[in-house]
Structure 1
Amino acid sequence: MLYAAKSAACLVLASLAVGDIRSRRLPTRAVLLVACLYGIDAAVAGVSIASLAEHLGAAAIGFALFALLFRFGWMGGGDVKLAAAVFLWAGPAYAWPVFFIVSCGGLVLGLTALIMGLVHRHATQSAPAPTQPASSCSVPYGVPLAFGGIAAIWLPVLNSL
């Protein structure tokens, strides 16, 4: 029973990643479910109020950081909400490792999208077609956030072994 909420959260995160790749959307209900599963996991594990407050603080900081990125148009609104849920699971103890995982994953994903766009442009260069502005390209940042979330869920378990 102890790992049921963790496993369920991982399944929801995986479905969010797949959905973000397919539709560039992160449903609010699914993101909220990830956060609620943390609450269930914390209740089952008997987490103290102080620890819960620390995790809520990490979620608030993650939300604020990603909201700033949203403000500049570099991130979608669903990504901001998912970041808050991911950092809720991470808490202050795992916020930096999770941030590193998410950042590296985003970098790889962004570079891959850039390279694929260049290859596609080069392959279709002879055909007359209107060019797509860079601002209309999107990167499914929910994917690295989901990987970071899975890491946030299981890193404490791995460290306790």
Structure 2
Amino acid sequence: MVVIVTLIVPFCLALAAISDLFTMKIPNKLSAAILVSFLVFAPLVGLGWADYGMSIAAASAVFAVCFMLFAMNVMGGGDAKLLTATAIWFGFTPALISFLVTVAFVGGFITLIFLLLRANANTAMAMGIRLPASLVTESKIPYGIAIAIGGYLTFQQSPVVNLVLLAAS
């Protein structure tokens, strides 16, 4: 069970990032897998019911903010669902702030990279370098990449992962 709990989220995040890069879409089944895996495994590894409820509350708060950003056309729906599903793993802990801040910084960096690549796309294509459509024709940023990287960098801080690693040692 240790392997499943510690690998399912990073695996789903990787698939989401790749999908977002090449299609500008994040499949709902990836966000659902991240969310359902928390709902199933958190109680099994010993997360207390109060912490379980606080994780659901934290994800709900993240979803509320993401929904407002989506309504203002600032954030895509797939990004909102992926961020919410990943946030549930952190609960209302300092790790959630770490995750969200990391996503924000990585997102800013990725945005700068995409803007630079788009500004120089003609040069790259003239050199025969094939670029994904998300780099050339889209005006939005595939933020799923930032969410995935932020998730990778902070996932070990998740209370559920800490319980799994504690039990494994």
2:60 and 2:84 in contact (8 A); partners too: yes
1:102 and 1:144 in contact (8 A); partners too: yes
The yes-or-no answer on 1:41 pairing with 2:47 is no
Q: Partners in 2 of 1:123 and 1:150 — Cα distance?
A: 30
Q: 1:37 to 1:150 in 2, by over 3 A?
A: farther
Q: Partners in 2 of 1:66 and 1:21 — Cα distance?
A: 20
2:107 and 2:143 in contact (8 A); partners too: yes
How many residue pairs get aligned? The number is: 151
The corresponding residue for 2:21 is 21
Shift of 1:123: 8.4
Listed as ranges, the gaps of 5+ residues in structure 2 are 126-137
The corresponding residue for 1:98 is 99
SS where residue 47 of structure 1 aligns? coil
State the AA in 1 paired with 2:38. Y
Shift of 1:95: 1.1
State the AA in 2 paired with 1:97. S
Q: 1:3 to 1:122 in 2, by over 3 A?
A: closer
The corresponding residue for 1:64 is 64
Listed as ranges, the gaps of 5+ residues in structure 1 are 125-135
1:89 and 1:149 in contact (8 A); partners too: no
1:54 and 1:92 in contact (8 A); partners too: yes
The corresponding residue for 1:8 is 8
SS where residue 92 of structure 2 aligns? helix
The corresponding residue for 2:150 is 148
SS where residue 140 of structure 1 aligns? coil
Q: 1:152 to 1:53 in 2, by over 3 A?
A: farther
Sequence identity (%): 25
Shift of 1:121: 6.5
SS where residue 14 of structure 1 aligns? helix
TM-score scaled by structure 2?
0.79
